[in-house]
Amino acid sequence: MDPTARIRLSLGFVSIAINMIFGKDRGRKNLLSPGGIEVLYSAYFSKICMGDIAGMLDISPSSATDLVNYLEREGFVRRVQDTENRRSILVVPTEKGEEWILDTEEKLFGFLEVRMAHLSLDEQLLFADLCARFTGVYDSDSLSSSVRSLRRESGFERVPLIFRREGRLVRLEEAVDARYVSAGWEGDEMNTTPKIESRIPETCDGIQDEVTTEEYDRMQRGLRDEGHLPVHELAGCTREGDHALEIGPGPGYLGLEWLTHTEGTHLTGLEISPAMIAIAERNAREYQHSDRAAYKEGNALSMPFPDNTFDCAFSNGSMHEWENAGQVFSEILRVIRPGGVVFVSDLRRDLSPEIFGYMRDSCLEPEIRKGFETSVRASYTQEELETLLDGIGFSRLQVIAHPYGLVVSGEK
């Protein structure tokens, strides 16, 4: 049997099991509808307001109110005033609602553990990795983006399976066999490894024209406002009083946020684009950090700094533009002091289609959207970076992969 049909059968079994666990197989005997379950889980894991529910479930505001009224009447949720916004009403689970979730999760985890016991430890790890790659879901953020992507679609892709033969509908198994057997499925000889395109280097000159730099500044400001910059991760690996080097700061938001969240620190930004330096200096004045932040024009391949100058070095979103990333990391090693840390984050070329689409759609300006696509094509995979950085000379250096990109973390 071909893999698509096998997966379809497995998903059918899992769907039946999940419906039984959630009680959705019991019809009217089940107190919670699918919409009620989604509201209860959302309220348990995140902060949701009454006004969010209609859009979340794609229903009318009156239907959303009726649903919350029912959940409240049955004792699963309650409404409370938001202490941060007195005009907003939050929906929060009661103890009964929390107990329902925990009871359901006990059965879910039990179902998974029993089935996973059929696999060896290596097979379990491989299965978990394959499931993440299959769904594009690696954590709660990618789950949310994948769900949003599904909701945005007008309809699912369809495989044509409705055919008539001699006046009768062809049965499902016949249609499936005809599609996949005729497609030349040859069992285990089929290569199921996803194809990753070769890296296409991007310009190493940075963004130079003033119009595009202003558009890029607006995009980066939006990422900052939405909390997508790795500020807390960076602050967590640096120390009070550190003098940091930021490579390719662009408009400077990560470094300026780092200064805001740390004490006694100073920042030097090395930027190849004079137009970007002007924007970064403007933003430093806006942050009132001009006395702690300085920006210098230069190329990271040959940094204009003496050995052992900085306590740490970091960069976000510029590594794919480096003409020779290995040489830049050698320069970082040279200019930071013994015990100094490096933190470099960037995109990854093997983004899942869901995350790629979500990130691309977040780029409102056409030029920025086009630049995002070329940046992804110029980015590295985890394996490529690990090979490239091998033997550079850091006492500790690791490449960490997450759904949205890669992080290089190390110490001299």
% of the chain with per-residue pLDDT over 90 = 41
Model's pTM, two decimal places? 0.55
Using the 8-state DSSP alphabet, how is residue 396 labeled? E
Provide the pairing of β-strand 293-297 with 266-271: parallel
Q: Strand, helix or coil at 135?
A: helix
Q: Strand, helix or coil at 315?
A: strand
Please tell me whether residues 229 and 373 are part of one structural domain: yes
Lowest mean pLDDT among 26-35, 109-118, 277-286: 26-35
Last residue of a domain, one of 97, 121, 144: 144
The verdict on residue 180 lying in a domain is no
Contact 117, 79 (CB under 8 A): no
Q: What is the CATH number of the domain that holds 326?
A: 3.40.50.150
Task: Answer left, alpha or beta for residue 218, where phi above 0 means left and psi between -120 and 50 means alpha.
Answer: alpha
Amino acid 191: pLDDT: 38
Give dist(CA 373, CA 197) in Å, integer: 13
Last residue of a domain, one of 144, 164, 189: 144
Please tell me whether residues 139 and 218 are part of one structural domain: no
User: Residue 216 is encoded by which pair of tokens?
Assistant: 């890029």
Please tell me whether residues 114 and 260 are part of one structural domain: no
Residue 208 has pLDDT above 80, yes or no: no
Contact 381, 354 (CB under 8 A): no
- Mean per-residue pLDDT for 289-315? 96
Please tell me whether residues 40 and 116 are part of one structural domain: yes
- Mean per-residue pLDDT for 207-220? 76
Give dist(CA 176, CA 172) in Å, integer: 6
* Chain CA centroid to CA 183, Å: 35
Task: Answer left, alpha or beta for residue 339, where phi above 0 means left and psi between -120 and 50 means alpha.
Answer: left
Residue 29: which residues within 8 A CB-CB, separation 6 or more?
23
Q: How many Cα atoms are found within 13 Å in the side-chain-facing hemisphere of 373?
A: 9
Amino acid 254: pLDDT: 96
Amino acid 77: pLDDT: 94
Domain count, the chain: 2
Last residue of a domain, one of 129, 144, 159: 144
Please tell me whether residues 124 and 247 are part of one structural domain: no
Amino acid 30: pLDDT: 66
pLDDT tens by residue, 353-399: 778 887 888 787 787 788 888 999 999 999 999 999 998 999 999 99
Please tell me whether residues 348 and 222 are part of one structural domain: yes
User: Residue 318 is encoded by which pair of tokens?
Assistant: 């510029």
The verdict on residue 181 lying in a domain is no
Give dist(CA 244, CA 340) in Å, integer: 10
**Cα angle, residue 345 at apex, residues 222 and 410 outer, rounded to 5°:** 145
Please tell me whether residues 258 and 401 are part of one structural domain: yes
Please tell me whether residues 331 and 246 are part of one structural domain: yes
The verdict on residue 266 lying in a domain is yes
User: Residue 232 is encoded by which pair of tokens?
Assistant: 């807390």
- Range of 51-60, 76-85, 220-229 with top mean pLDDT: 76-85
- Mean per-residue pLDDT for 29-33? 73
Q: What is the CATH number of the domain that holds 116?
A: 1.10.10.10
Contact 305, 245 (CB under 8 A): yes
Amino acid 189: pLDDT: 39
Residue 266 has pLDDT above 90, yes or no: yes
Lowest mean pLDDT among 52-56, 181-185, 267-271, 277-281: 181-185
Phi and psi dihedrals of 119, rounded to 5? -110, 155
Domain span holding position 389: 210-411
The verdict on residue 171 lying in a domain is no
Amino acid 47: pLDDT: 86
- Mean per-residue pLDDT for 279-290? 96
Please tell me whether residues 224 and 369 are part of one structural domain: yes
Amino acid 339: pLDDT: 95
Please tell me whether residues 123 and 253 are part of one structural domain: no
Please tell me whether residues 131 and 214 are part of one structural domain: no
The verdict on residue 192 lying in a domain is no
Residue 169 has pLDDT above 70, yes or no: yes
Residue 334 has pLDDT above 90, yes or no: yes
Residue 81: its H or E element: strand 77-81
The verdict on residue 245 lying in a domain is yes
The verdict on residue 200 lying in a domain is no
Phi and psi dihedrals of 367, rounded to 5? -65, -40
pLDDT tens by residue, 93-127: 999 999 988 988 888 888 888 888 878 888 888 88
Q: How many Cα atoms are found within 13 Å in the side-chain-facing hemisphere of 25?
A: 8
Please tell me whether residues 269 and 399 are part of one structural domain: yes
The verdict on residue 176 lying in a domain is no
Amino acid 198: pLDDT: 80
